[in-house]
Chains A and B, each alone.
Chain A
């Protein structure tokens, strides 16, 4: 597989899978304004995935459309980080997952403004405007929930225990990311790691909670080795395309 195709596909999968997860909240949020905010972020993410899938399809050059790429692959072909596919859990878990992802995405897109590929730069520029807002929103909620009540703090601590293990994968590059960095298409992961940790520490300090020290980090999503959750997400998302292949909607 062409490494630049794999690299862009991975970025698209991150945005799609997290957007799909977040959209499950629509109509069920704890506060009407936050229900809207989550749907809005989900919309942005799916929108970003569309631009990236279109670009991936062009790079691949086999005539696959955004929908072919989004809907007609199997579990082991998806390259999203494990964090993105984790179930929503309670609002605390959703917020923390979003914050960890936004902190990565913000610095990743900022770095991609310097990509050697013009289309990537354009996508990064548009996405960065959206992600800046997402990061502000999720950071504020991290602070609010940690500094809120005993219950909200306990829920955040539980979410942290569940999710921390999936964060290492965000800034640990796999082969196609290393190649993308070398060619100038992608980003320097040493820098992203430092920036991500600084961002998380900054917000955790404001909230009054500590980043866990050490701990084993899960990985595999970027190489197609997923948690059990992804299969169900895909079964749901791909249902119509799989039941009625090749039709127009």
Chain B
């Protein structure tokens, strides 16, 4: 290397490989991978996910669903002789399920089968509520946040009006009308009254994102509104939507329970966790297990879904490990 004034070495202007390779050694993970990594590290979320999976698998494999049979031979509809006052046989003889692990009701129905059926129905309703809420909330929030002006004013006044009526009253009216038409319609109907929270969040996200320079860049290129919404803004709101949808599912389970408790949800002879509690609330003192089993399942499902939601939120929004400078 020369040291005279005449010929110091020369840096090349464009060194593509060189330039781009620097600063690249650290992270070469996609955002999705980072979110997943943080989610998998979230203890509560993992516990919730495990519990939920266990409950789902248990509910659907035990008594089967639709045409598929399960490993549990008793039906939730068949009555029978009440053995031992209907007391649960679970773990009474070591680690065995026994004849009626969760006991029997007063007409001898197997309570394990009933709780499993109730869990299935509650989960179905909750997921339908989650899906409907997500679709409606996203659509309405996106439209309001992106177009602003009159569209926004109309949509948000509707949202405000719906929020001002307690969800339970709204849901009770809807359920009274649609409750008898089956759980799918019940789920859809309930979804229609619970989208407001998500719509507000999505609107907020859209309002913030539409002012971002990358959206302006898209507009400068001449990108259509539809393409800006679907390709540029929506992918950036996925985190918020997923988290809120998860929490909406948890709320949906409780909403269905509350309605069934009021006698407005799932109609007999079918059962949900909520309707089981209602039906056997009078047995609270004499045969408490009829109250406890569905209760435990409701709490377990709602908690685990909430934990998953928290985990997702922390994974999508890692405000903690920022380093200054």
Q: Do A and B share a complex?
A: no
Binding site for B on A (CB under 8 A): none
Interface residues, chain B, CB within 8 Å of chain A? none
